[in-house]
Amino acid sequence: MGTINFTVLTLFPELVDPFFEHGIISRAVDKNIITGKSVNIRDFSSDRHNTVDDRPYGGGCGMLMKPEPLALAINAAKQGSADSRVILMTPQGRRFDQGLALDLAARSEDLIFVCGRYEGIDERVCHTLVDDEISIGDYVMTGGELAAMVIIDAITRLLPGVLGGETSADVDSFRDDRLEHAQFTRPPAFESMDVPSVLLSGDHGAIERWRKRSSLKRTLLNRPDLLAKRALDGEERKILKTWCQELEALINE
């Protein structure tokens, strides 16, 4: 797999640049698994005031990002890549999740993120130059930069060699429609709460069974919608059946 190049088109490069300089993301840059850069859309404005926004036709509140600087910025970013996908950050796009992160990580295309500001961007840019529209959730933020960084972060940790073996993305939450099990580290007792003794037992079979139950319980309580999608194995069905019977007994007491 080659290097994935992330380009973030933004009016606020200073928000984005430090993101590539810390933690696991900067290690991925150092290992040449990814590159990351911001491009200031304002640099592609042609008037002497460097205007990038204008009033919406038909009236209404707020301003919109003008199409010309955006189009020039997108085309310049595309020219630097043989195989790229232009992704517009918008609350109106398809919702980002772990499945989409896995999909984008597997494609190994260069990704160009277009970050809106103001009330959004001129619709004609979406029609001609954008390959994909993605939202990070059903809420509206002031700009697309955080959304782009969320997506880049989630994709990067899935790329081979990024987590370096000390952590694996395979057991993370949302892989196979379940949440990860509860986790503990030292000390063994903290504020009168003990680490479950099985985790100190060294019995790997028992630890795996405990983790499976913990994962199942969390998913059932916190995200039953995931469990409904999951292909349950025999052991999980048995555990769930026992819990149902215990609940029934409790209700009938």
Ligand X SMILES: C[S@@+](CC[C@H](N)C(=O)[O-])C[C@H]1O[C@@H](n2cnc3c(N)ncnc32)[C@H](O)[C@@H]1O
Residues tagged active-site: 91, 119, 157, 172
| Residue in 143, 157, 172, 220 binding ligand X, rule: CB under 6 A | 143
How many binding residues for ligand X (CB under 6 A)? 20
Report the chain's C-alpha Rg in angstroms. Answer: 23
CA dihedral 198, 200, 203, 208 (to 10 degrees): 60
- Establish if 57 lies at the interface with ligand X (CB under 6 A): no
User: Cβ contacts of residue 92 below 8 Å, gap of 6+?
Assistant: 133, 135
3 touches 31 (CB < 8 A): no
- Considering only residues 108-127, where is the footprint of ligand X by CB under 6 A? 115-117, 119-121
- Give yes or no for residue 144 binding ligand X (CB under 6 A): yes
The response to whether 23 counts as a known ligand-binding position is no
Stretch that binds ligand X, among 141-149, 176-184, 223-231, 240-248 (CB under 6 A): 141-149
Q: Is 116 annotated as a binding residue?
A: yes
Q: How far apart are CA 208 and CA 198, in angstroms?
A: 10
Residue nearest to ligand X (CB): 116
Q: Does 97 bind ligand X (CB under 6 A)?
A: no
> If binding is defined by CB under 6 A, does position 247 make contact with ligand X?
no
- 165 belongs to an annotated ligand binding site: no
141, 200, 244, 247: which one binds ligand X (CB under 6 A): 141
Please report whether residue 140 would count as binding ligand X according to CB under 6 A.
yes
Q: How far apart are CA 36 and CA 159, in angstroms?
A: 14
Q: Give me the phi and psi of 17, to 5 degrees please.
A: -55, -45
Task: Judge whether 139 is annotated as a binding position.
Answer: yes
Residue 34, marked binder: no
CA-CA distances (angstroms) from residue 134 to 1, 21, 93, 144, 206? 24, 24, 4, 10, 42
Residues 159-218 that bind ligand X (CB under 6 A): none
Cβ distance to ligand X smaller for residue 8 or 89: 89
Interacting span for ligand X (CB under 6 A) from 97-105, 136-144, 192-200, 206-214: 136-144
CB nearer ligand X, residue 149 or residue 162 = 149
Nearest 10 degrees: Cα torsion 149, 87, 225, 241: -80
Q: What contacts 175, CB < 8 A, 6 or more positions away?
A: 98, 169
Find out whether 140 is annotated in a ligand binding site: yes
Residue (85 or 212) nearer to ligand X, CB:
85
Residue 21 tokens read as: 């300089």
Q: Count Cα atoms within 13 angstroms, Cβ side, for 27.
A: 11
Binding residues: 116, 136-141
> What residue ranges bind ligand X (CB under 6 A)?
89-92, 115-117, 119-121, 135-137, 139-144, 147
Binding residues for S-adenosyl-L-methionine: 116, 136-141
